[in-house]
Structure 1
Amino acid sequence: MKILVTGGTGTLGNSFVKNALKDNIDVRIASRRQPQEPLTEWSFLDLESGEGLKNSLLDVDVVLHAATSPVKNTSAIDVEGTKKLIEACKESRVKHLIFPSIVGIESLPMAYYQSKTEAEKIIKEGGVPYTIVRATQFHSLMDSLFHTLTKFPLSILPGQLKCQSVDVDEVASYLMELCQLTPQGTVDDFGGPEILTLKEMYTVWEQHRHPKSLLIPLSYLPISLFKAMKEGKNTNIEQKRGKKTWEEWIKEN
């Protein structure tokens, strides 16, 4: 079995590749920029233009489609790029496309999440055997968020928002399990082991990171996205599948 990882240099892709190599799985990274320290075979791929798709998919059995662009060119990469990938997978007769998505995206009014929802639909209707699995936010993302907030002497924190963060390595390990199976369609969400408010998460983070800035709690913002996260639309209490808690991850990193 040969696996192609689009977005193989990203947080999830990189974790998956390391996991695959430990198990002696034949894996190829596809991205626009070659990794400075390549772990394995690399192939140039520009999803926006489609350049490199044919070469990247050569002799590939399974595609882990982890490429994404949450900040800019989101529609071009996550939507149109996924369309191009699907067509190329059909031409190359790829046996299995695995798409890691995000929990609650249909309920969270955010352009990036809308693009992920559209990408899911494209994959479902695309004609390539697929597995879609949604995960909650990664511990590392929340760590980066708090680091960014505390760069300033004074910041605000919408502390009542909920989160169910998960260890990216646990998600990557599960994705590897899915690679060994036949296409499953849409499978159950993969959430972290606990649901916490941002205030609770920050309290833990502050104890171990010791920031110098002052964060002021914010109880209300008239923004629909914040309302949805306060209600926990980005979590799934029935799918606490990850094992490593937020505090355990913080202590290790």
Structure 2
Amino acid sequence: MKVLVTGATGRLGRVVVPRLREDGHTVRATSRRPRTDPGVEWVAADLATGDGLADAVDGVDGILHLASAPNRGTHEVDVLGTRRLVVAAGQAGVRHLVYVSIVGVDRVPIPYYRHKLAAEQVVAAGPVPWSVLRATQFPEFLDDLLRMSSRFGPTIGDRAILAQPVDPAEVAARLVARLAAGPLRGIEEYGGPEVLRFDEAVRAWRAARHSRRPLLPVRLPGRLGRTLRDGGLVTTALPKGTRTWADYLADTYGGTTRR
């Protein structure tokens, strides 16, 4: 197929594009600024304004929609931008659009997740045959969170919050397989191989980094805390990924044997 990838320069996009090429697909990728890359057709397009979207979707068979703006302009990019993309794709006759979302967007009460859920609904209501893949959090996200939580010495967090890190390369493989399988017209969830409590993740992270910083437990209050402790970010869906949090730590920090 000829496949358009939005968000191709992001953490997931950087592993999706080579995976598509390995599987024999022709790749067109969007960027807000012109780029050149042998083997990939780059087109300038902006979800926030709609500029370039008609050209981006012209002649493609499928779309992997990975673009997102979690920090600012989220509604404009994730919701309205997704609507612009879906409309353009429908007019171009695109046969399948796969949208990547996050496990828990329908349960965890944070604004970014509400926008992701709204974008899912835009995709489902649109004219293009569709699939949604909700993935659990990447280990890089958990690593960044632990770094931020340790800025003032001890690692601060709710020890009972549950997480299920999944490797981006495994999510990429699942996305490409879902695209090739045809429209699901539904939601599939995909998570990592193990569910970890926050304190378990912290212990392994400290050991890999040879850190003696203690965990300072702080119970997250309210509905958000209850939802995260009750597994709002995890899934029992099968199949699951195979690369563990320990695998990520070994790759990143050399595991517990690094000197």
Q: TM-score band, normalised by the shorter chain?
A: over 0.9
Deviation at 1:115, TM superposition (A): 0.8
Q: What SS does the corresponding residue of 1:184 show, helix, strand or coil?
A: coil
State the partner residue of 2:104.
104
Contact between 1:28 and 1:43, CA under 8 Å: does it hold in 2?
yes
Q: What SS does the corresponding residue of 2:181 show, helix, strand or coil?
A: coil
Contact between 1:193 and 1:240, CA under 8 Å: does it hold in 2?
no
Distance verdict in 2 for CA 1:36–1:89, change over 3 Å: closer
- Structure 1, 73-82 or 14-23: larger mean CA deviation: 14-23
In the alignment, residue 141 of structure 2 is paired with which amino acid? L
State the partner residue of 1:128.
128
Q: Report how many residues are paired.
A: 252
Deviation at 1:136, TM superposition (A): 0.7
Contact between 2:36 and 2:42, CA under 8 Å: does it hold in 1?
no
Contact between 1:192 and 1:240, CA under 8 Å: does it hold in 2?
no
Contact between 2:124 and 2:130, CA under 8 Å: does it hold in 1?
yes
State the partner residue of 1:247.
246
State the partner residue of 1:12.
12
- Whole-angstrom distance in 1 between the partners of 2:127 and 2:116: 18
State the partner residue of 1:44.
44
Contact between 1:151 and 1:213, CA under 8 Å: does it hold in 2?
no
Distance verdict in 2 for CA 1:222–1:151, change over 3 Å: closer
- TM-score, length of structure 2 as denominator length: 0.91
Contact between 1:154 and 1:216, CA under 8 Å: does it hold in 2?
yes
Question: Is it true that 1:147 corresponds to 2:147 in the alignment?
Answer: yes
Paired-residue identity, %: 35
Matching of residues 1-253 of structure 1 within 5 Å: 1-34=1-34, 40-211=40-211, 213-218=213-218, 220-239=219-238, 241-253=240-252
Q: What SS does the corresponding residue of 1:248 show, helix, strand or coil?
A: helix
Query: Which ranges in structure 1 are unaligned for 5 or more consecutive residues?
Result: none
Deviations 1:201-237 (A, max 9, x none): 111111112347554122x232321220011011112
Query: Which ranges in structure 2 are unaligned for 5 or more consecutive residues?
Result: 253-259
Contact between 2:199 and 2:215, CA under 8 Å: does it hold in 1?
no
Contact between 1:58 and 1:92, CA under 8 Å: does it hold in 2?
yes
Distance verdict in 2 for CA 1:211–1:148, change over 3 Å: farther
- Whole-angstrom distance in 2 between the partners of 1:202 and 1:240: 26
Q: What SS does the corresponding residue of 1:28 show, helix, strand or coil?
A: strand
Q: What SS does the corresponding residue of 1:119 show, helix, strand or coil?
A: helix
RMSD: 1.9
Distance verdict in 2 for CA 1:157–1:36, change over 3 Å: farther
Distance verdict in 2 for CA 1:213–1:10, change over 3 Å: same
